[in-house]
A and B are shown apart, each in its own frame.
Chain A
Amino acid sequence: MNWRIAVPALTLAALLLWLPHSAPAFHAMFPSVGKPVYLRTGFGQLLAIHAGIVLLASATAVLVGLAVAALVTRPFARSLLPTANAVAVVGQTIPPVAVLVLSVPLLGFGAPPTLLALTVYGVLPVLGQAIAGLRSVPPEAIAAADGMGYGPWRRLKDAELPLAVPAIMSGVRLSVIVAVGTATIGSTVGATTLGSPIIEGLVGNNPAYVVQGALLVAALAMLADGLLEWVERRVTSRGR
Protein backbone atom coordinates (compact mmCIF):
# COMPACT_ATOMS: atom_id res chain seq x y z
CA MET A 1 0.00 0.00 0.00
CA ASN A 2 1.45 3.33 -1.02
CA TRP A 3 0.20 5.91 1.48
CA ARG A 4 1.53 8.85 -0.50
CA ILE A 5 -0.89 7.92 -3.26
CA ALA A 6 -3.73 6.40 -1.25
CA VAL A 7 -4.20 9.22 1.27
CA PRO A 8 -4.53 12.11 -1.23
CA ALA A 9 -6.59 9.91 -3.60
CA LEU A 10 -9.05 9.03 -0.84
CA THR A 11 -9.13 12.64 0.36
CA LEU A 12 -9.90 13.78 -3.18
CA ALA A 13 -12.70 11.22 -3.53
CA ALA A 14 -14.15 12.11 -0.15
CA LEU A 15 -14.12 15.84 -1.01
CA LEU A 16 -15.89 15.19 -4.33
CA LEU A 17 -18.60 13.19 -2.56
CA TRP A 18 -18.98 15.50 0.40
CA LEU A 19 -18.66 19.02 -1.07
CA PRO A 20 -22.06 19.02 -2.89
CA HIS A 21 -23.66 18.27 0.49
CA SER A 22 -21.48 20.59 2.53
CA ALA A 23 -23.78 23.63 2.58
CA PRO A 24 -24.65 23.31 6.32
CA ALA A 25 -20.98 23.02 7.32
CA PHE A 26 -19.85 26.02 5.23
CA HIS A 27 -22.92 28.01 6.36
CA ALA A 28 -21.83 27.40 9.95
CA MET A 29 -18.26 28.46 9.16
CA PHE A 30 -19.15 31.56 7.12
CA PRO A 31 -22.68 32.65 8.25
CA SER A 32 -22.54 35.90 6.27
CA VAL A 33 -22.23 34.07 2.90
CA GLY A 34 -25.47 33.70 0.96
CA LYS A 35 -24.55 30.71 -1.24
CA PRO A 36 -22.12 28.56 0.78
CA VAL A 37 -21.34 25.99 -1.98
CA TYR A 38 -19.97 26.63 -5.48
CA LEU A 39 -22.54 25.32 -7.97
CA ARG A 40 -21.77 26.95 -11.34
CA THR A 41 -19.81 23.86 -12.48
CA GLY A 42 -19.66 20.48 -10.78
CA PHE A 43 -16.53 19.85 -8.70
CA GLY A 44 -15.91 16.58 -10.57
CA GLN A 45 -15.96 18.41 -13.87
CA LEU A 46 -13.66 21.16 -12.58
CA LEU A 47 -11.22 18.53 -11.36
CA ALA A 48 -11.28 16.66 -14.66
CA ILE A 49 -10.60 19.79 -16.73
CA HIS A 50 -7.91 20.95 -14.32
CA ALA A 51 -6.15 17.59 -14.36
CA GLY A 52 -6.50 17.36 -18.15
CA ILE A 53 -4.88 20.77 -18.72
CA VAL A 54 -2.04 19.90 -16.34
CA LEU A 55 -1.51 16.50 -17.94
CA LEU A 56 -1.41 17.83 -21.48
CA ALA A 57 0.82 20.79 -20.60
CA SER A 58 3.20 18.72 -18.47
CA ALA A 59 3.53 15.92 -21.01
CA THR A 60 4.45 18.45 -23.68
CA ALA A 61 6.78 20.27 -21.31
CA VAL A 62 8.62 17.08 -20.36
CA LEU A 63 9.08 16.04 -23.98
CA VAL A 64 10.28 19.48 -25.06
CA GLY A 65 12.52 19.88 -22.00
CA LEU A 66 14.15 16.48 -22.48
CA ALA A 67 14.62 16.97 -26.20
CA VAL A 68 16.25 20.38 -25.76
CA ALA A 69 18.43 19.15 -22.88
CA ALA A 70 19.56 16.14 -24.90
CA LEU A 71 20.31 18.38 -27.87
CA VAL A 72 22.38 20.99 -26.06
CA THR A 73 24.48 18.35 -24.30
CA ARG A 74 25.57 16.83 -27.65
CA PRO A 75 29.08 17.84 -28.70
CA PHE A 76 27.94 19.53 -31.93
CA ALA A 77 25.44 21.76 -30.08
CA ARG A 78 27.58 22.54 -27.05
CA SER A 79 27.62 26.23 -27.98
CA LEU A 80 23.90 26.42 -27.15
CA LEU A 81 24.38 25.02 -23.66
CA PRO A 82 25.01 28.30 -21.78
CA THR A 83 21.96 29.88 -23.41
CA ALA A 84 19.72 26.92 -22.57
CA ASN A 85 20.99 26.95 -19.00
CA ALA A 86 20.39 30.67 -18.67
CA VAL A 87 16.86 30.34 -20.05
CA ALA A 88 16.08 27.55 -17.60
CA VAL A 89 17.41 29.46 -14.61
CA VAL A 90 16.30 32.99 -15.42
CA GLY A 91 12.97 31.82 -16.85
CA GLN A 92 11.98 30.34 -13.51
CA THR A 93 12.37 33.72 -11.83
CA ILE A 94 9.56 35.11 -14.00
CA PRO A 95 6.26 34.53 -12.19
CA PRO A 96 3.84 32.20 -14.02
CA VAL A 97 1.20 34.95 -14.01
CA ALA A 98 3.39 37.03 -16.30
CA VAL A 99 3.64 34.19 -18.78
CA LEU A 100 -0.11 33.75 -18.57
CA VAL A 101 -0.80 37.44 -19.22
CA LEU A 102 1.61 37.48 -22.16
CA SER A 103 -0.11 34.54 -23.84
CA VAL A 104 -3.58 36.13 -23.77
CA PRO A 105 -2.89 38.54 -26.65
CA LEU A 106 -1.70 35.54 -28.68
CA LEU A 107 -4.49 33.11 -27.95
CA GLY A 108 -7.36 35.10 -26.46
CA PHE A 109 -9.16 34.08 -23.27
CA GLY A 110 -10.00 30.60 -22.01
CA ALA A 111 -8.08 27.33 -21.83
CA PRO A 112 -5.58 27.85 -24.72
CA PRO A 113 -3.50 30.63 -23.10
CA THR A 114 -3.47 28.67 -19.85
CA LEU A 115 -2.25 25.58 -21.68
CA LEU A 116 0.49 27.58 -23.43
CA ALA A 117 1.63 29.30 -20.24
CA LEU A 118 1.73 26.04 -18.31
CA THR A 119 3.68 24.32 -21.06
CA VAL A 120 6.25 27.09 -21.47
CA TYR A 121 6.67 27.49 -17.73
CA GLY A 122 6.74 23.72 -17.20
CA VAL A 123 9.59 23.21 -19.66
CA LEU A 124 11.99 25.24 -17.51
CA PRO A 125 12.50 23.00 -14.46
CA VAL A 126 12.63 19.89 -16.67
CA LEU A 127 15.18 21.54 -18.94
CA GLY A 128 17.36 22.78 -16.08
CA GLN A 129 17.34 19.48 -14.21
CA ALA A 130 17.81 17.36 -17.33
CA ILE A 131 20.84 19.41 -18.38
CA ALA A 132 22.31 19.09 -14.89
CA GLY A 133 21.57 15.35 -14.87
CA LEU A 134 23.03 14.69 -18.30
CA ARG A 135 26.16 16.65 -17.49
CA SER A 136 26.69 14.74 -14.25
CA VAL A 137 26.76 11.34 -15.97
CA PRO A 138 30.12 9.82 -14.94
CA PRO A 139 32.61 10.32 -17.80
CA GLU A 140 33.82 6.73 -17.27
CA ALA A 141 30.38 5.41 -18.13
CA ILE A 142 30.43 7.45 -21.33
CA ALA A 143 33.99 6.36 -22.17
CA ALA A 144 33.03 2.72 -21.56
CA ALA A 145 29.90 3.07 -23.70
CA ASP A 146 31.91 4.62 -26.54
CA GLY A 147 34.64 2.03 -26.21
CA MET A 148 32.14 -0.81 -26.43
CA GLY A 149 30.66 0.50 -29.65
CA TYR A 150 27.55 2.41 -28.65
CA GLY A 151 26.24 4.78 -31.28
CA PRO A 152 25.35 8.28 -30.09
CA TRP A 153 21.59 7.62 -29.97
CA ARG A 154 21.92 4.29 -28.20
CA ARG A 155 24.35 5.78 -25.71
CA LEU A 156 21.86 8.52 -24.88
CA LYS A 157 18.98 6.08 -24.51
CA ASP A 158 20.76 3.26 -22.64
CA ALA A 159 23.36 5.08 -20.59
CA GLU A 160 22.97 8.83 -20.30
CA LEU A 161 19.21 9.26 -19.81
CA PRO A 162 18.87 6.39 -17.31
CA LEU A 163 21.78 7.80 -15.31
CA ALA A 164 20.21 11.25 -15.37
CA VAL A 165 16.79 9.95 -14.30
CA PRO A 166 16.96 11.01 -10.64
CA ALA A 167 17.70 14.61 -11.64
CA ILE A 168 15.19 14.56 -14.50
CA MET A 169 12.44 13.20 -12.26
CA SER A 170 12.99 15.91 -9.67
CA GLY A 171 12.53 18.42 -12.48
CA VAL A 172 9.40 16.66 -13.68
CA ARG A 173 7.93 16.59 -10.18
CA LEU A 174 8.60 20.26 -9.68
CA SER A 175 7.16 21.05 -13.10
CA VAL A 176 3.94 19.13 -12.50
CA ILE A 177 3.37 20.45 -8.99
CA VAL A 178 3.87 24.03 -10.19
CA ALA A 179 1.48 23.32 -13.08
CA VAL A 180 -1.22 22.05 -10.69
CA GLY A 181 -0.95 25.29 -8.77
CA THR A 182 -0.57 27.57 -11.77
CA ALA A 183 -3.55 26.10 -13.64
CA THR A 184 -5.59 27.66 -10.83
CA ILE A 185 -4.56 31.12 -11.98
CA GLY A 186 -5.75 30.17 -15.46
CA SER A 187 -9.22 31.01 -14.26
CA THR A 188 -8.30 34.69 -14.21
CA VAL A 189 -8.13 34.53 -18.01
CA GLY A 190 -11.31 32.54 -18.35
CA ALA A 191 -10.19 28.90 -18.20
CA THR A 192 -12.54 26.68 -16.22
CA THR A 193 -10.39 24.96 -13.59
CA LEU A 194 -10.34 24.33 -9.86
CA GLY A 195 -9.24 27.96 -9.75
CA SER A 196 -12.72 29.07 -10.82
CA PRO A 197 -14.32 28.84 -7.34
CA ILE A 198 -11.19 30.41 -5.83
CA ILE A 199 -11.17 33.40 -8.19
CA GLU A 200 -14.91 33.83 -7.98
CA GLY A 201 -14.73 33.60 -4.21
CA LEU A 202 -12.00 36.23 -4.05
CA VAL A 203 -13.84 38.58 -6.38
CA GLY A 204 -17.27 38.03 -4.83
CA ASN A 205 -16.03 38.10 -1.24
CA ASN A 206 -17.04 34.46 -0.66
CA PRO A 207 -14.40 32.68 1.46
CA ALA A 208 -16.35 29.37 1.30
CA TYR A 209 -15.68 29.09 -2.46
CA VAL A 210 -12.00 29.81 -1.89
CA VAL A 211 -11.72 27.06 0.71
CA GLN A 212 -13.55 24.55 -1.50
CA GLY A 213 -11.27 25.19 -4.49
CA ALA A 214 -8.14 25.28 -2.38
CA LEU A 215 -8.90 21.95 -0.67
CA LEU A 216 -9.30 20.22 -4.04
CA VAL A 217 -6.17 21.78 -5.56
CA ALA A 218 -4.10 20.83 -2.52
CA ALA A 219 -5.32 17.23 -2.61
CA LEU A 220 -4.65 17.05 -6.34
CA ALA A 221 -1.11 18.40 -5.92
CA MET A 222 -0.33 15.85 -3.24
CA LEU A 223 -1.75 13.06 -5.37
CA ALA A 224 0.36 14.17 -8.35
CA ASP A 225 3.47 14.23 -6.16
CA GLY A 226 2.75 10.76 -4.77
CA LEU A 227 2.18 9.33 -8.24
CA LEU A 228 5.38 10.86 -9.60
CA GLU A 229 7.38 9.59 -6.67
CA TRP A 230 6.09 6.12 -7.48
CA VAL A 231 6.99 6.54 -11.15
CA GLU A 232 10.46 7.74 -10.17
CA ARG A 233 11.08 4.64 -8.08
CA ARG A 234 9.84 2.38 -10.86
CA VAL A 235 12.06 4.02 -13.46
CA THR A 236 15.22 4.03 -11.33
CA SER A 237 14.94 0.38 -10.31
CA ARG A 238 14.55 -0.80 -13.89
CA GLY A 239 17.36 -2.79 -15.44
CA ARG A 240 18.13 -4.94 -12.42
Chain B
Amino acid sequence: MLVQALRRLLVAIPTILAIIVACFLLMHAAPGGPFTSQRQVPEVIEKRLEQHYGLDLPIAEQIVRYVGGLAHGDLGPSMKYRDKTVLQIIEEGAPTSAILGVGAMVLALLVGGGLGIVAAFRQNRTLDYAVMAMAIIGVCLPALVVGPLLQMLLGVELHWLPSGGLFRDEFALRYLVLPVLTLSLPLIAVVSRLMRASMIEALRSNAIRTARAKGLPEWQVIIRHALPIALLPIVSYAGPALAGVMSGSFVIETVYQLPGIGKQFVLAAQQRDYTLVMGVVLIYSFLIILFNLGSDIMYRVLDPRTRST
Protein backbone atom coordinates (compact mmCIF):
# COMPACT_ATOMS: atom_id res chain seq x y z
CA MET B 1 0.00 0.00 0.00
CA LEU B 2 2.89 2.34 0.81
CA VAL B 3 4.37 1.71 -2.64
CA GLN B 4 1.04 2.46 -4.24
CA ALA B 5 0.68 5.68 -2.30
CA LEU B 6 4.16 6.76 -3.35
CA ARG B 7 3.40 5.93 -6.98
CA ARG B 8 0.25 8.03 -6.79
CA LEU B 9 2.25 10.97 -5.44
CA LEU B 10 4.73 10.59 -8.30
CA VAL B 11 1.91 10.62 -10.87
CA ALA B 12 0.72 13.82 -9.20
CA ILE B 13 3.83 15.68 -10.37
CA PRO B 14 2.92 15.72 -14.10
CA THR B 15 -0.66 16.56 -13.13
CA ILE B 16 0.51 19.59 -11.17
CA LEU B 17 2.78 20.62 -14.06
CA ALA B 18 -0.18 20.39 -16.42
CA ILE B 19 -2.23 22.54 -14.03
CA ILE B 20 0.54 25.15 -13.94
CA VAL B 21 0.71 25.27 -17.74
CA ALA B 22 -3.08 25.45 -18.05
CA CYS B 23 -3.23 28.29 -15.51
CA PHE B 24 -0.46 30.26 -17.20
CA LEU B 25 -2.14 29.94 -20.59
CA LEU B 26 -5.51 30.94 -19.14
CA MET B 27 -4.13 33.95 -17.29
CA HIS B 28 -2.18 35.22 -20.25
CA ALA B 29 -5.02 34.63 -22.68
CA ALA B 30 -6.92 37.54 -21.13
CA PRO B 31 -5.82 40.95 -22.39
CA GLY B 32 -4.01 43.29 -20.02
CA GLY B 33 -1.86 42.40 -17.04
CA PRO B 34 -1.31 43.27 -13.40
CA PHE B 35 0.10 46.68 -14.27
CA THR B 36 -2.30 47.85 -16.96
CA SER B 37 -5.52 48.06 -14.97
CA GLN B 38 -4.42 50.47 -12.26
CA ARG B 39 -3.85 54.20 -12.49
CA GLN B 40 -2.17 55.42 -15.65
CA VAL B 41 1.56 54.88 -15.47
CA PRO B 42 3.89 56.03 -18.23
CA GLU B 43 4.57 53.29 -20.73
CA VAL B 44 8.26 53.23 -19.85
CA ILE B 45 7.52 52.46 -16.23
CA GLU B 46 5.01 49.78 -17.18
CA LYS B 47 7.63 48.17 -19.39
CA ARG B 48 10.15 48.32 -16.56
CA LEU B 49 7.71 46.73 -14.13
CA GLU B 50 6.92 43.94 -16.55
CA GLN B 51 10.61 43.43 -17.11
CA HIS B 52 11.20 43.29 -13.36
CA TYR B 53 8.64 40.53 -12.89
CA GLY B 54 9.71 38.70 -16.05
CA LEU B 55 6.40 39.29 -17.78
CA ASP B 56 8.10 40.38 -21.01
CA LEU B 57 9.54 36.90 -21.57
CA PRO B 58 7.80 34.31 -23.76
CA ILE B 59 5.22 32.30 -21.81
CA ALA B 60 7.17 29.06 -22.08
CA GLU B 61 10.17 30.72 -20.46
CA GLN B 62 8.01 32.21 -17.72
CA ILE B 63 6.62 28.77 -16.95
CA VAL B 64 10.09 27.24 -16.79
CA ARG B 65 11.29 30.01 -14.48
CA TYR B 66 8.22 29.58 -12.26
CA VAL B 67 8.64 25.82 -11.99
CA GLY B 68 12.34 26.35 -11.27
CA GLY B 69 11.44 28.64 -8.38
CA LEU B 70 8.81 26.19 -7.20
CA ALA B 71 11.44 23.46 -6.92
CA HIS B 72 13.12 25.66 -4.29
CA GLY B 73 9.83 26.28 -2.52
CA ASP B 74 9.63 29.80 -3.93
CA LEU B 75 6.20 30.93 -5.07
CA GLY B 76 7.51 34.27 -6.29
CA PRO B 77 6.74 37.84 -5.28
CA SER B 78 3.19 39.16 -5.23
CA MET B 79 2.53 41.59 -8.07
CA LYS B 80 0.04 43.69 -6.14
CA TYR B 81 1.39 43.66 -2.60
CA ARG B 82 4.81 45.03 -3.45
CA ASP B 83 6.47 44.27 -0.12
CA LYS B 84 5.22 40.69 0.29
CA THR B 85 5.94 37.35 -1.29
CA VAL B 86 3.12 34.99 -2.24
CA LEU B 87 4.30 32.60 0.44
CA GLN B 88 3.92 35.28 3.12
CA ILE B 89 0.39 36.16 2.01
CA ILE B 90 -0.65 32.52 1.99
CA GLU B 91 0.98 31.93 5.37
CA GLU B 92 -1.12 34.74 6.79
CA GLY B 93 -4.42 33.55 5.36
CA ALA B 94 -4.15 29.79 5.14
CA PRO B 95 -4.42 28.94 8.88
CA THR B 96 -7.76 30.74 9.18
CA SER B 97 -9.17 29.03 6.09
CA ALA B 98 -7.81 25.66 7.18
CA ILE B 99 -9.32 25.92 10.68
CA LEU B 100 -12.69 26.95 9.26
CA GLY B 101 -12.62 24.20 6.63
CA VAL B 102 -11.62 21.42 9.00
CA GLY B 103 -14.11 22.64 11.61
CA ALA B 104 -16.93 22.72 9.09
CA MET B 105 -16.08 19.26 7.79
CA VAL B 106 -15.85 17.72 11.27
CA LEU B 107 -19.19 19.26 12.19
CA ALA B 108 -20.71 18.05 8.92
CA LEU B 109 -19.47 14.50 9.43
CA LEU B 110 -20.76 14.33 13.02
CA VAL B 111 -24.11 16.05 12.53
CA GLY B 112 -24.76 14.98 8.93
CA GLY B 113 -23.59 11.43 9.59
CA GLY B 114 -25.73 11.18 12.72
CA LEU B 115 -28.82 12.56 10.99
CA GLY B 116 -28.29 10.25 8.02
CA ILE B 117 -28.07 7.16 10.25
CA VAL B 118 -31.16 8.17 12.19
CA ALA B 119 -33.05 8.75 8.93
CA ALA B 120 -31.94 5.37 7.57
CA PHE B 121 -33.34 3.58 10.61
CA ARG B 122 -36.61 5.46 10.34
CA GLN B 123 -36.87 5.03 6.58
CA ASN B 124 -40.08 6.46 5.09
CA ARG B 125 -41.33 7.68 8.44
CA THR B 126 -41.87 11.22 9.66
CA LEU B 127 -38.39 11.66 11.08
CA ASP B 128 -36.82 10.46 7.82
CA TYR B 129 -38.86 12.92 5.79
CA ALA B 130 -38.02 15.72 8.20
CA VAL B 131 -34.27 15.05 7.94
CA MET B 132 -34.38 14.80 4.16
CA ALA B 133 -36.43 17.98 3.81
CA MET B 134 -33.89 19.76 6.02
CA ALA B 135 -31.11 18.37 3.86
CA ILE B 136 -32.61 19.75 0.65
CA ILE B 137 -33.22 23.14 2.26
CA GLY B 138 -29.62 23.07 3.51
CA VAL B 139 -28.33 22.61 -0.03
CA CYS B 140 -30.60 25.36 -1.34
CA LEU B 141 -29.74 28.08 1.17
CA PRO B 142 -26.85 30.09 -0.21
CA ALA B 143 -24.19 31.16 2.28
CA LEU B 144 -24.78 34.75 1.32
CA VAL B 145 -28.28 34.48 2.77
CA VAL B 146 -27.54 32.26 5.76
CA GLY B 147 -24.45 34.23 6.73
CA PRO B 148 -26.07 37.65 7.13
CA LEU B 149 -29.18 36.11 8.72
CA LEU B 150 -27.23 34.24 11.42
CA GLN B 151 -25.07 37.28 11.92
CA MET B 152 -28.09 39.50 12.47
CA LEU B 153 -29.98 37.03 14.64
CA LEU B 154 -27.28 35.61 16.93
CA GLY B 155 -24.77 38.42 16.71
CA VAL B 156 -26.62 41.71 16.51
CA GLU B 157 -30.03 40.95 18.02
CA LEU B 158 -29.27 38.38 20.71
CA HIS B 159 -25.59 39.24 21.36
CA TRP B 160 -24.81 35.55 21.86
CA LEU B 161 -21.83 35.45 19.57
CA PRO B 162 -19.52 37.97 17.93
CA SER B 163 -20.82 38.78 14.47
CA GLY B 164 -17.44 38.93 12.77
CA GLY B 165 -13.69 39.11 13.01
CA LEU B 166 -11.15 36.63 14.23
CA PHE B 167 -8.17 36.70 16.57
CA ARG B 168 -9.09 40.29 17.26
CA ASP B 169 -7.81 40.39 20.81
CA GLU B 170 -7.26 36.77 21.61
CA PHE B 171 -7.94 33.47 19.96
CA ALA B 172 -11.38 32.39 21.05
CA LEU B 173 -13.62 29.63 19.81
CA ARG B 174 -16.66 31.82 19.86
CA TYR B 175 -15.37 33.78 16.87
CA LEU B 176 -15.42 30.56 14.89
CA VAL B 177 -18.92 29.33 15.70
CA LEU B 178 -20.94 31.32 13.16
CA PRO B 179 -18.59 31.01 10.19
CA VAL B 180 -18.05 27.30 10.76
CA LEU B 181 -21.80 26.79 11.08
CA THR B 182 -22.51 28.71 7.87
CA LEU B 183 -19.79 26.90 5.97
CA SER B 184 -20.92 23.48 7.14
CA LEU B 185 -24.68 23.75 6.46
CA PRO B 186 -24.48 22.61 2.82
CA LEU B 187 -21.91 19.97 3.80
CA ILE B 188 -24.22 18.65 6.54
CA ALA B 189 -26.99 18.42 3.95
CA VAL B 190 -24.90 16.45 1.46
CA VAL B 191 -23.38 14.15 4.09
CA SER B 192 -26.76 13.30 5.62
CA ARG B 193 -28.22 12.38 2.23
CA LEU B 194 -25.24 10.22 1.31
CA MET B 195 -25.20 8.59 4.74
CA ARG B 196 -28.90 7.76 4.63
CA ALA B 197 -28.71 6.17 1.18
CA SER B 198 -25.60 4.11 1.89
CA MET B 199 -26.80 3.04 5.35
CA ILE B 200 -30.06 1.76 3.89
CA GLU B 201 -28.11 -0.18 1.28
CA ALA B 202 -25.64 -1.52 3.85
CA LEU B 203 -28.42 -2.73 6.13
CA ARG B 204 -29.86 -4.75 3.25
CA SER B 205 -26.55 -6.44 2.41
CA ASN B 206 -25.74 -10.07 2.99
CA ALA B 207 -22.90 -9.18 5.35
CA ILE B 208 -25.38 -7.63 7.76
CA ARG B 209 -27.75 -10.58 7.47
CA THR B 210 -24.84 -12.86 8.37
CA ALA B 211 -23.83 -10.68 11.30
CA ARG B 212 -27.39 -10.73 12.61
CA ALA B 213 -27.66 -14.48 12.05
CA LYS B 214 -24.55 -14.96 14.16
CA GLY B 215 -26.58 -13.45 16.98
CA LEU B 216 -24.53 -10.30 17.48
CA PRO B 217 -26.24 -7.59 19.50
CA GLU B 218 -27.82 -4.94 17.23
CA TRP B 219 -25.48 -2.10 18.28
CA GLN B 220 -22.48 -4.24 17.40
CA VAL B 221 -23.99 -5.09 14.01
CA ILE B 222 -24.37 -1.39 13.32
CA ILE B 223 -21.06 -0.09 14.66
CA ARG B 224 -18.75 -2.90 13.59
CA HIS B 225 -20.35 -4.12 10.37
CA ALA B 226 -22.85 -1.69 8.85
CA LEU B 227 -21.07 1.59 9.60
CA PRO B 228 -17.73 0.79 7.89
CA ILE B 229 -19.51 -0.19 4.66
CA ALA B 230 -21.91 2.73 4.85
CA LEU B 231 -19.08 5.22 5.37
CA LEU B 232 -17.47 4.45 2.00
CA PRO B 233 -19.37 6.99 -0.17
CA ILE B 234 -18.85 9.62 2.54
CA VAL B 235 -15.11 8.98 2.49
CA SER B 236 -14.90 9.51 -1.26
CA TYR B 237 -17.02 12.65 -0.99
CA ALA B 238 -15.21 14.13 2.00
CA GLY B 239 -11.72 14.15 0.45
CA PRO B 240 -12.27 16.60 -2.42
CA ALA B 241 -14.90 18.50 -0.41
CA LEU B 242 -12.42 19.10 2.41
CA ALA B 243 -9.90 20.47 -0.09
CA GLY B 244 -12.64 22.78 -1.35
CA VAL B 245 -13.61 24.24 2.02
CA MET B 246 -10.03 24.44 3.27
CA SER B 247 -8.90 26.59 0.35
CA GLY B 248 -11.15 29.36 1.56
CA SER B 249 -14.62 30.69 0.93
CA PHE B 250 -14.99 34.19 -0.42
CA VAL B 251 -18.55 34.65 0.86
CA ILE B 252 -17.85 33.46 4.42
CA GLU B 253 -14.66 35.47 4.69
CA THR B 254 -16.39 38.60 3.41
CA VAL B 255 -19.54 38.30 5.50
CA TYR B 256 -17.68 37.56 8.74
CA GLN B 257 -14.65 39.70 7.96
CA LEU B 258 -12.12 36.92 8.28
CA PRO B 259 -8.57 37.03 6.94
CA GLY B 260 -8.60 33.85 4.82
CA ILE B 261 -7.19 32.96 1.42
CA GLY B 262 -10.58 32.73 -0.30
CA LYS B 263 -10.97 36.49 -0.45
CA GLN B 264 -7.32 37.02 -1.37
CA PHE B 265 -7.73 34.60 -4.24
CA VAL B 266 -10.77 36.28 -5.79
CA LEU B 267 -9.20 39.72 -5.46
CA ALA B 268 -5.95 38.44 -6.95
CA ALA B 269 -7.76 36.87 -9.90
CA GLN B 270 -9.62 40.11 -10.56
CA GLN B 271 -6.47 42.22 -10.29
CA ARG B 272 -4.32 39.81 -12.28
CA ASP B 273 -1.91 39.13 -9.46
CA TYR B 274 -0.56 36.20 -11.49
CA THR B 275 1.79 34.76 -8.90
CA LEU B 276 -0.70 34.92 -6.03
CA VAL B 277 -3.41 33.24 -8.14
CA MET B 278 -0.97 30.54 -9.17
CA GLY B 279 0.05 30.01 -5.53
CA VAL B 280 -3.51 29.48 -4.30
CA VAL B 281 -4.40 27.25 -7.27
CA LEU B 282 -1.33 25.14 -6.47
CA ILE B 283 -2.34 24.78 -2.84
CA TYR B 284 -5.86 23.82 -3.85
CA SER B 285 -4.75 21.22 -6.37
CA PHE B 286 -2.15 19.86 -3.96
CA LEU B 287 -4.84 19.47 -1.29
CA ILE B 288 -7.19 17.79 -3.79
CA ILE B 289 -4.56 15.26 -4.81
CA LEU B 290 -3.51 14.65 -1.21
CA PHE B 291 -7.04 14.22 0.14
CA ASN B 292 -8.07 12.04 -2.78
CA LEU B 293 -5.17 9.80 -1.87
CA GLY B 294 -6.24 9.96 1.77
CA SER B 295 -9.78 9.01 0.73
CA ASP B 296 -8.53 6.02 -1.20
CA ILE B 297 -6.41 4.83 1.71
CA MET B 298 -9.33 5.21 4.12
CA TYR B 299 -11.47 3.34 1.61
CA ARG B 300 -9.08 0.41 1.69
CA VAL B 301 -8.95 0.40 5.47
CA LEU B 302 -12.74 0.46 5.79
CA ASP B 303 -13.87 -1.76 2.95
CA PRO B 304 -13.43 -5.45 3.77
CA ARG B 305 -13.66 -6.29 0.05
CA THR B 306 -10.57 -4.34 -0.98
CA ARG B 307 -8.57 -5.25 2.11
CA SER B 308 -5.53 -7.22 1.09
CA THR B 309 -5.11 -10.38 3.10
Whether both chains belong to one complex is answered with: no
